[in-house]
Amino acid sequence: MRSPRSAGAAFLLVLSLACACAVALALPTASLAAGRITGGAKAPDAQYQSHLRSLVALVSLDEPSQYDGQFCAGTLIDELHVLTAGHCLVDDGDLRTRISPTSFAVLAGTPNLSKTSLRRSELVPVQSMFINPNFNVRTMRWDVAVLRLTRPITNVPVAPLLSPEEAAALGLGTSTFNGLVAGWGDTDPDFDDCCFPFTLQSVAVPLHPDSECTGNLAAAPYLSFSGEFQLCAGRLGRGTTFGADACQGDSGGPLYVDAAGGPRLAGVTSFGVGCGQRFYGVYARATTIMPWLASIPGATPGDAREAINGPGDLAAPAAVASRPVSFDKVELTITPATTGAAASGYTMWARVGAPAVAEDIFLGKTTSLTARVTVPPINVAHPYDVLVRPVGDSGEGPTARVKALPVLDQVKPTVPGGLRVANKRATWRASIDRQSLIHQYQVQVFVGGSWRAPKVVKARTFAIGSASKVRVRSMDWADNVSAWSAPVSA
């Protein structure tokens, strides 16, 4: 999953520092960085054992190895919960597309990524994701999320968060002192997708007063710094020499500081502009997010609540049923949960794609117990999952899932018109399909006395090479195929 590391696992890919997770964000294409280790070195064994064992890798399940699949980092804050960056889990700037929990897993207890295999037995699946409801991809405030795992991780310690009292004693926000960042991100931001190590890297970085952060980042494009929600750290480079910073692929990972009680998690790697160059890296401030973390049952050590419900003690709806309405619409009936906090509404999502590449696409929000939703342009000839999540002040709760199948579209699209050939290239006009819409076209060429196997194209143009004739037909999202157009000679 190389691109998430170089652009942010979902959308900050276009930002150069913050996004270790890949988000095709609808922001200007600036060189914002997505979390990375620059100016560091292989984490020493003693340092790994004392400070970094709670650091985990987020690994895509659609890649051949752990090394290829790593796109973000995180920190184990409870045996069942990992703290990471919110932007690691979203695929667009409006937060309307998210990666599915089925598409990635967590690797814990090792500083090394396998280059040869996913080693699935070493990966812990993700059960649920909770993104902070205040996360804003334009300001990057509240850039945090919690992963709930399917089974506890017991072979590594959890990371204590820096308390407000410890932060005050250190002078966080008013003084300069050293912290530690680590990850498997880019070590040389001058070259895209170049220098990702398979062994964990770390580097000491100075944390700066809020006033210095504000001044340094005032000239950074598109994003600003807020001392209420963020802190900044890093050593700036000189000339062609990089300073010390995180880089693409390190997003979601920890910023540690040493307090009187030992190592403490002070921040979550969020964003920056470049890696160890003109601007400091920015981190979500741990002391600010502590009340939200405490709202998630079982997410913090000592919380005796069972880790079933979501933020604000929201439980999944007791039942959801669907009824087909048309070729692209279904009606949902929701039965509220009988335990946990009362929901103020529900969000609805379509889960599309095979599990290892699945995405959740936002369909709408309702305060009613019945809702009619329009599905996205997927192949609606096959069942898909509709997800319903309760909503409260602290965010979304766990998911209820229902299989949905709209009324099948059995009407064929129109035959493509206007087929013509010029300069060995065929072009044609768009077909019409008033139900599930046109999905693609199939082009067939006549060579050596026979029609060759059809080629699938999205655009309405095709290079026919040495063919003597060509014809085309259309296919809609329900797999209905039009008749072939009349052949046209080259």
- Above 50 in pLDDT, residue 31? no
Phi, psi of 348 (to 5 degrees): -125, 135
Active site residue 202: no
Based on the residue annotation, tell me whether 87 is a catalytic residue of this protein: yes
Residue 209: pLDDT band with limits 50, 70, 90: very high
Q: What is the mean pLDDT of the chain?
A: 87
Residue 28: per-residue pLDDT: 25
Query: H-helix or E-strand containing 443?
Result: strand 438-447
**Residue 484 class from Cβ within 10 Å (0-12 exposed, 13-18 middle, 19+ buried)?**
middle
- 199 CB neighbour count, 10 Å cutoff: 12
Residue tagged 């650091």 (tokens): 55
Active site residue 251: yes
Q: What is the pLDDT of residues 97-132, one digit of tens each?
A: 999 999 999 999 999 999 999 999 999 999 999 999
pLDDT at 350 over 80: yes
How far is residue 107 from each of residues 18, 67, 75, 85, 475, measured CA to CA in Å?
Answer: 21, 11, 11, 16, 42
Q: Is the pLDDT of residue 21 over 60?
A: no
What is the per-residue pLDDT across 385-443, written as a single tens digit (0 to 9) for each?
A: 899 999 999 999 999 999 887 777 778 999 999 999 999 999 999 999 877 789 999 99
Predicted pLDDT of residue 275:
83
Q: Which of 143, 186, 250, 409 is catalytic?
A: 143
pLDDT digits (tens, 9 = 90+) for 304-337: 999 999 999 999 999 999 998 887 889 999 999 9
The pLDDT value given to residue 99: 96
Q: What number is the average pLDDT over the span 187-194? A: 65
The span from the CA of 309 to the CA of 113, in Å, is 32
Q: Which of 51, 81, 87, 439 is catalytic?
A: 87
Q: Looking at the predicted structure, is the pLDDT value of residue 249 above 70?
A: yes
Does the pTM exceed 0.85? no
* pLDDT at position 260: 84
Predicted pLDDT at 40 = 58
Q: How far, in Å, CA of 182 to CA of 299, rounded?
A: 23
Domains annotated for the chain, with CATH where assigned, are 2-291 (2.40.10.120), 311-404 (2.60.40.10), 420-489 (2.60.40.10)
Among residues 16, 54, 251, 431, which one is catalytic? 251
Is the pLDDT score of 144 beyond 50?
yes
